[in-house]
Chain A
């Protein structure tokens, strides 16, 4: 798994409001070029925070991204 890629994207989704808006508008387009496995990309596109946590995403990030958090 690519923990860095997953977590840096989660962090960006939390802290970069404009990126978050692009992601919510079109996740596939926002993630183009990101170094993700198929499973990671699918989890992001599905907004599946539980899966992203299982794939190595830090708990405090998946619990606190505005509009996407699972808690």
Chain B
């Protein structure tokens, strides 16, 4: 019987240069500090020797554009490529130094997809979608020079309205937990993004965050109280800049009722940086 052996969630632009440009010296220091914590989380992940690592993250209009934006999509196949961007700017530049190709855990991805469709989750699938910083910045920071286990990238549409509901994301996470339990594999799962930044996806509001809202989310995760999180509305997530918390909702469904331990929380003018790990039975 398989089991989830590690669960963590973290912000996903992990680049000291980016945050120094955006927030000055305090930005650099904050991201270096959180990257240190995520590195230590990665040591615990690697120590549990996962057969696969599920990565729940969002696309930033890189893999999916205007031909199709799936609510939830399982990346299947044998390998996944890093998104490429000529003359990359901002968060895209984070990818520049990273390996270009990563192995996938084909059997687990297929199981999540096939059993999902049988269970009423109308998941999209992709053989070709590349992954951007939302996937690869945390994965590489967690592992450093160590070998990265085969990945199962899962895309959640966090930005293009209408997005899936928090409740649906949580239910999908519960589905993932059932698939893992029926499998022979030990699996790690991470969710990425957030916390509060870019409220209402408005350029004039870049630089604002909602720390009160973030502290509320963290409190519920720490006490393992997941019901109110499932009640979060698209409007609340949009207004507070918490769009990417949908990724975290998938992870919460997979590990519920486990309690979270905050490894790092740091406020920047641009974003609240967080790294959280769950205590699993």
A interface, CB within 8 angstroms of B: 4, 7-8, 11, 14-15, 17, 49-50, 53-54, 58-67, 69-71
0/1 per residue, B74-95, Cβ < 8 Å to A? 0000000000011111111000
Interface pair A53/B202, CB less than 8 Å apart: yes
A-B contact count (CB 8 A): 65
Interface pair B88/A61, CB less than 8 Å apart: no
Chosen A-B contacts, 23 in total, with CB atoms closer than 8 Å, are A7-B61, A8-B66, A11-B61, A14-B85, A15-B85, A17-B86, A17-B87, A53-B201, A58-B159, A58-B201, A60-B60, A60-B61, A60-B159, A62-B203, A63-B89, A63-B90, A64-B88, A66-B86, A66-B87, A67-B89, A71-B89, A71-B90, A71-B206
Interface pair B160/A58, CB less than 8 Å apart: yes
Docked pose: A71 CA to B22 CA in angstroms: 8
For the complex of A and B, 9 pairs with smallest distance between CB atoms: A66-B87, A59-B201, A53-B203, A60-B60, A71-B90, A69-B89, A11-B65, A17-B86, A50-B203
Within 8 A of A (CB), among B185-231: 198, 201-204, 206
Interface pair B92/A64, CB less than 8 Å apart: yes
- Please judge, given known A-B contacts A64-B91, A69-B89, A69-B90, whether A11 and B66 are in contact too, CB under 8 Å: yes
Docked pose: A17 CA to B88 CA in angstroms: 11
Q: Name the CB-closest residue of A to B59.
A: A60
Q: Is the interface of B mostly helix, strand, loop or mixed?
A: loop
Interface pair A59/B85, CB less than 8 Å apart: no
Interface pair B159/A70, CB less than 8 Å apart: no
Q: Is the interface of A mostly helix, strand, loop or mixed?
A: helix
Q: Name the CB-closest residue of B to A63.
A: B90
Residues of B contacting A71 in the complex (Cβ-Cβ under 8 angstroms): 22, 89-90, 206
Docked pose: A11 CA to B86 CA in angstroms: 13
Interface pair B203/A59, CB less than 8 Å apart: yes
Residues of B contacting A49 in the complex (Cβ-Cβ under 8 angstroms): 203
Interface pair A64/B89, CB less than 8 Å apart: yes
Residues of A contacting B88 in the complex (Cβ-Cβ under 8 angstroms): 64, 66
Q: Name the CB-closest residue of A to B201.
A: A59
Most buried by B among A54, A58, A59: A59
Interface pair B203/A63, CB less than 8 Å apart: yes
Residues of A contacting B92 in the complex (Cβ-Cβ under 8 angstroms): 64
Residues of A contacting B203 in the complex (Cβ-Cβ under 8 angstroms): 49-50, 53-54, 59, 62-63, 70
Q: Name the CB-closest residue of B to A70.
A: B203
Chain A's nearest CB lies how many Å from the CB of B112?
26
Q: With contacts A11-B66, A66-B85, A66-B87 known, what are 17 further pairs, Cβ within 8 A? A: A4-B66, A11-B61, A11-B65, A49-B203, A58-B160, A59-B159, A60-B60, A60-B159, A60-B201, A62-B203, A63-B90, A63-B203, A64-B89, A65-B89, A67-B89, A69-B89, A71-B22
Q: Name the CB-closest residue of B to A10.
A: B61
